[in-house]
Amino acid sequence: MKVLAAMSGGVDSAVAAARAVDAGHDVVGVHLALSRMPGTLRTGSRGCCTIEDSMDAQRAANILGIPYYVWDFSERFKLDVVDDFVAEYTAGRTPNPCMRCNERIKFAALLEKALDLGFDAVCTGHYAILTTDAEGNRELHRASAEAKDQSYVLGVLTAEQLAHSMFPLGETPSKALVRQEAAERGFSVANKPDSHDICFIPDGDTRGWLADRVGASQGDILDREGNKLGEHEGAHAYTVGQRRGLQIGTPAPDGKPRFVLEVRPVDNTVVVGPKDALAIAEIAGRKFTWAGVAPVDPETPFDCFVQIRAHSDLEPATARVSKESGTTELVITPREPLTGVAPGQTAVVYLGTRVLGQTTIDRTVSASPVDA
């Protein structure tokens, strides 16, 4: 099989490419250049996709004896990931740029180009498991190494994309074993730190980064009843569940801390309240996809699990597709209220270990409405 190995310059993708070679596939390595100024995308272990990463990927490819190329996806990355990130925050939502990158870059733009060039599959270093059911349908499952499982960020993949994907690390019990294998293969990245945080904001200052692009616009901080408690310098700097940096001079009547409950970009206000008000009884989204075979009757509520952050726990829930009021959306009702869920986040639905699908959250229903 002709395989395109996406090589980020990290240890996971290098070992994944090596395993694809060992399996007898015809492998070509490719590194995605995602910035016209690659030196700006790393600060220590933060960020990725730098010239340093490209060189690390090339060294691994040289050891494997496979062809290696660098493809410029910087314009597509800016439009589909960076600009989308800014637009979502401007709209008062909390986006997940890693989900957008997997959806629109690694498994849309990259896979599309790979198929056009005659490749059969794209191989990555994600920790997730692909299986095939009795009817020949591909299924995406959680990795065996639960602490490293990355099936959540792959929840955006469709059945067609799964059919052309390869995740050689999914059955590996731990990241330590991957590093050990990399060292045995002579890869210089064996002990390279994992990148983290948002790659295009390597210093971690999301508020400052957004302020430079959106600008500061003073507005009011309100309580749930609409009373003004203070002022802010830009609603884009706040996310649901945030506690620190609210700069409210007057303490709450009960003396307990306040949290951001809602960001309203239309009137540039931020709503705050008690921690209990962060509890969410229902979430729903119009942009949903199925990762493989969809439920036979998705409009009938079915038991499932839901995950709303990359490193959060799976929560028991029921889900259904609703077509009420002329709007088709995936509605998820957790057995116990979820905490700090915000529009723009991604909810991934599981059936046991299998990823069933996902939706970008458009609306939430509070477990403690203000007029209760």
Please, what are the domains in the chain?
2-185 (3.40.50.620), 216-273 (2.30.30.280), 278-366 (2.40.30.10)
Q: What is the pLDDT of residues 180-238, one digit of tens each?
A: 999 999 999 999 887 766 778 777 777 778 777 877 778 888 888 888 888 887 777 78
pLDDT confidence of residue 167: 97
For 56-92, write each residue's pLDDT tens digit. 999 999 999 999 999 998 899 999 999 998 888 888 7
Say which residues have a Cβ less than 8 Å from residue 202's Cβ, sequence separation at least 6. Answer: 40, 41, 42, 43, 46, 47
Indicate if the pLDDT at residue 40 is higher than 60.
no
Spatial neighbors of 294 by CB under 8 A, at least 6 apart, are 357
Buried residues in 278-300 as b, exposed as e (16+ CB within 10 A): bbbebbbbeebbbbbeebeebee
Position 164 confidence tier, pLDDT thresholds 50, 70, 90: very high
pTM for this prediction: 0.88
- At residue 282, the pLDDT reads 96
pLDDT score of 103: 87
Burial classification of residue 33, based on how many CB atoms lie within 10 Å of its CB (0-12 exposed, 13-18 middle, 19 or more buried): middle
| Confidence category of residue 36, pLDDT binned at 50, 70, 90 | low
Quickly state the pLDDT bin for 102 (edges 50, 70, 90): confident
DSSP string, 220-280: EEE-TTS-EEEEES-GGG--TT--TT---SSPPTT-PPPEEEEEETTTTEEEEE-GGGGEE
Q: Supply the DSSP symbol for 196.
A: B
Amino acid 49: pLDDT: 64
Mean pLDDT of all residues in 10-24 = 97
pLDDT bracket for residue 161 (50, 70, 90): very high
Mean pLDDT for 252-265 is 82
**Pairing of the two strands 228-232 and 219-222:** antiparallel
Residue-level pLDDT at 34: 85
Residue 77: φ, ψ to 5° = -65, -40
pLDDT at 371: 54
pLDDT band for 38, please (50, 70, 90 cuts): low
Query: Which active-site residues does the annotation give?
Result: 101, 199
Q: What is the pLDDT of residue 44?
A: 47
The CA distance from 271 to 275, in Å, is: 12
Distance, CA of 106 to CA of 333 (rounded, Å): 31
pLDDT digits (tens, 9 = 90+) for 309-345: 888 899 999 999 999 878 999 999 999 999 878 899 9
- Judged on CB neighbours under 10 Å (0-12, 13-18, 19+), 135 is exposed
Q: What is the mean pLDDT of residues 296-310?
A: 95
pLDDT of residue 186: 97
Share of the chain above pLDDT 90, in %: 53
**Mean per-residue pLDDT for 22-26?**
98
**What's the average model confidence in pLDDT over 111-123?**
95
